[in-house]
Amino acid sequence: MARLADVLERVNLVIGNTLCWAALGMLLLQFVIVLLRYVFGYSFIFLDEGVLYFHAAIFMIGAGYTFLVNAHVRVDIFYAKASERAQAWIDVFGHLFLLTPALLVLLWFSWPTVRGSWAILEGPISVGGIPASFLLKTLIPAYCVLLLVQGAAALIRDIARLKDTPA
């Protein structure tokens, strides 16, 4: 089972490492936009939307990686003071009854919109923008799937932690 968790985690690890370059791309694009606007007096809507696309991709696709490296926001009331076994039980409960159902509901309700957007190859958000809103909407199911993959890996590891820690 640990091998399966490793394979599942590798997906988000590769994506997370790749997204570091996307963050650099977003930074450089924003620099070009500022340079063009304030030095040369030019403005292009598709470049502004490019920053939006980068930003959305980094946060939506990077959520699984954030979960992998345990950098997500955690509301910690009892967790930090709990034993390792209690933490594993809390995590198992969270994965099975909070994370998974919420992501499945989001996936279920977003899919018709994404499918419809792809069916018509939905155009730009603004006139003169990037003619690919369907790609932006595709980030929603990608977000769900990548978090589900990471949730499955974490669940496997938490079950192993429960088996390895004494009661």
Q: What is the DSSP string of 94-118?
A: HIIIIIHHHHHHHHHHHHHHHHHHH
Average pLDDT, the chain: 95
Residue 122 pLDDT greater than 90, yes or no = yes
The pLDDT of residue 50: 97
Q: Give the pLDDT score at 16.
A: 95
**pLDDT (tens digit, 9 = 90+) per residue, 69-96?**
999 887 788 888 999 999 999 999 999 9
- Asked if the model's pLDDT at residue 57 lies above 80, the reply is yes
Q: Which residues contact 162 (CB under 8 A, 6 or more apart)?
A: 85, 88, 89, 92
Overall average pLDDT of the 30-54 stretch: 97
Q: What is the pLDDT of residues 1-26, one digit of tens each?
A: 889 999 999 999 999 999 999 999 99
Which pLDDT does position 80 carry in this prediction? Answer: 86
Band of residue 109 on the pLDDT scale cut at 50, 70, 90: very high
3-state secondary structure of 162: helix
Q: For residue range 146-162, list pLDDT tens digits in order.
A: 999 999 999 999 999 99
Instruction: Tell me the HSE value of 99 on the side-chain side, using a 13 A CA sphere.
Output: 25
